[in-house]
Amino acid sequence: MVSKAERERERNIARNKALLEALGLPEISASVAPSSTKKRKATTSQSSDSKRPKKVPRPDLSIPDPGSSETTPEPTERRRSARNAGKKVEYNGEAQTNPGDSLVKSRLPRIVSEGNFIEHESNTEYVGNKLGKRLHNPKTYGHIPGIEVGTWWATRAQCSTDAVHAPFVAGISGHTEKGAYSVALSGGYDDDVDLGYAFTYTGSGGRDLKGTKNKPKNLRTAPQSSHQTFDNTFNKCLESSVKTRKPVRVIRGYKLRSPFATEEGYRYDGLYVVEKAWMELGLEGYQVCKFAFKRLPGQPPLPRREEALNDEPVEGQSADEESDENIKEEDTKDN
């Protein structure tokens, strides 16, 4: 038996999916199975052990002892498990006393490719769950220099430090007239559809973050309790993106319900264009703002979750054409 809400959800999904498919594939119509192209080793990390310990972003790297011993005073070890993310973990002990020193070395971040994902080893210290020193302005359109598609972070704060998506919590960042700089796909709306090369996205607002007067909640996210509108600043940004067609940086997170979600943390999935903006009835019975995104061609294929690999192969994935270096950082000159 299927509940009414569930049916509603299925209908929304079907409608959104049809809409995305109507947008067409991103140029290359070749439906190449991603595993057959460049990421043949994409899933080796977990293939051997049947019981996955839930998070294995890095099976093993050049770092001597990745094993659970987090206490290694290894100064080069910067990545942490998401679980440790706000703790007062003393990685790098004394570096903290003088953050400026270790932060300012302005070498560009180094990327270590790792099959299914890319580990980001920048010189930037990620201090706790706070914003570190940025090398670039997040209020720009297009790629951030030095940050490859596929770059992975444990937390939103780290992603913000690298200027890919500035807000810690909010899903949308942008300029109301020129368009969005970036969005985060991190769950939150269960009738969004993610095909990888295209997805639908639900806008912001309409949530009662404060609870009632007697029962103040002061939440950062909450159930829908009123209609969304395009007056909302964030929604306006995305609406403008449809007109300006500026590229939007997209990150996907572990909460996303999609074969393209990360196992944990957040991943930079490159540039998309917002093709369409509209309103529809959301699952919670309120009007929501919806947006259809389409990925720009010429970008690395998206990794899929392990458990999704057995499913039907996805279309629209193809090896990189010539890389699109023409889409570079393009300043907004308003600050």
Residues that bind DNA (CB under 7 A): 82-87, 129-131, 138-139, 155-157, 160, 166-173, 176, 184-189, 192, 201-202, 204-205, 207, 209-210, 217-221, 232-234, 253, 255-256
Convert 67-80 to b/e letters by CB count within 10 Å (16 or more is b). Answer: eeeeeeeeeebbbb
Q: Which is nearer to DNA, 12 or 202 (CB)?
A: 202
Q: Which is nearer to DNA, 109 or 188 (CB)?
A: 188
Q: Find where tokens 């199975």 sit.
A: 33
Q: To the nearest whole angstrom, how small is the minimum distance from the Cβ of residue 58 to DNA?
A: 18
Q: Which is nearer to DNA, 202 or 241 (CB)?
A: 202
Q: What is the DSSP letter of 313?
A: P
Task: Report the C-alpha gap between 179 and 139 in whole angstroms.
Answer: 11
The closest of 132, 139, 137 to 156, measured between CA atoms, is 132
Question: Is the CA virtual torsion 3, 228, 173, 132 positive or negative?
Answer: negative
Q: Which is nearer to DNA, 38 or 136 (CB)?
A: 136
Q: To the nearest whole angstrom, how small is the minimum distance from the Cβ of residue 203 to DNA?
A: 8
Q: To the nearest whole angstrom, how small is the minimum distance from the Cβ of residue 138 to DNA?
A: 6
Q: To the nearest whole angstrom, how small is the minimum distance from the Cβ of residue 312 to DNA?
A: 24
Q: To the nearest whole angstrom, how small is the minimum distance from the Cβ of residue 44 to DNA?
A: 25
Q: Which is nearer to DNA, 28 or 308 (CB)?
A: 308
- For the chain, helix (H) and strand (E) counts, in that order, are 5, 11
Residue type, 292: A
Q: To the nearest whole angstrom, how small is the minimum distance from the Cβ of residue 1 to DNA?
A: 21
Q: Which is nearer to DNA, 35 or 96 (CB)?
A: 96
Q: To the nearest whole angstrom, how small is the minimum distance from the Cβ of residue 96 to DNA?
A: 14
Strands (E), the chain: 110-114, 117-121, 140-141, 151-153, 172-175, 179-185, 198-202, 248-253, 266-281, 287-295, 330-331
Q: Which is nearer to DNA, 121 or 162 (CB)?
A: 162
- Name every residue whose Cβ is closer than 8 Å to that of residue 85 and which is 6 or more positions away in sequence: 129, 154, 155, 157
Task: Report the C-alpha gap between 203 and 181 in whole angstroms.
Answer: 15
- Name every residue whose Cβ is closer than 8 Å to that of residue 47 and which is 6 or more positions away in sequence: none
Under 8 Å between Cβ of 77 and 61: no
